[in-house]
Structure 1
Amino acid sequence: MGARIVILHLSGEDPIVAEMEEDPQPTDAFIRVSNMRRRDGKDVPYIGGGVQSVIYPWHRVTFIEMMVSEEERGNVIDFFRDA
């Protein structure tokens, strides 16, 4: 499995989209993300140019939304209303 797309919610910051190589484990002291961008696709203003990945300590992370990969999408049941 490749990198998973996540929406990272940090304390006091707007949510950002990033990629994680591995799901975080309960014993981890930090998370490592790469390819960070704002939800609209623009650069994250506080990340310098050329930065490959960022490590955040858990106390900065409010929560993480784990997005479904294209591979997993076939197994997800979306709810919709027939108009």
Structure 2
Amino acid sequence: MENSEPIVGESDELPSAGDTLVQIRNPRRQDGRDLHYLAENSVMLYWPVHKLNFIEVVASSADEEVIGFVRE
């Protein structure tokens, strides 16, 4: 977000070029603490795309595949 601390959250899909809002589940600060401007029981928010500087996508641990070799 512009002029604020980065937030972290989950989303099912990236916004398309025509979208005006981004859906974010489990919004929190990078250190895991709650965002002071949201209610404690908030689990989802919609953020205007024009307020975002960028969206960073990181692989989850479920997406990583470990390949190993086993001798029998």
TM-score of the pair, normalised by structure 1: 0.70
1:68 aligned onto 2:59: yes
Deviations 1:4-36 (A, max 9, x none): xxxxxx011100110101121111111010101
Q: Which amino acid aligns with 1:21?
A: D
CA distance in 2, matches of 1:54, 1:61: 14
Instruction: Give the match for residue 16 of structure 2.
Output: 25
CA displacement, residues 35-65 of structure 1 (integer Å, 9 cap, x when unaligned): 0111111111111111121111111111011
RCO comparison, higher one (Cα < 8 Å, 6+): 1
Shift of 1:73: 2.8
> AA paired with 1:47?
L
Percent sequence identity is: 30
Q: Does 1:37 align with 2:28?
A: yes
Residue aligning to 2:70: none
Letter in 1 for 2:26: N
Q: 5+ residue gaps in structure 1?
A: 1-9, 76-83
Task: Name the CA shift for 1:71/1:60 in 2 (closer, same or farther; >3 Å).
Answer: same
Q: 1:62 & 1:72 partners in 2: Cα distance?
A: 26
* Matched pairs, number: 66
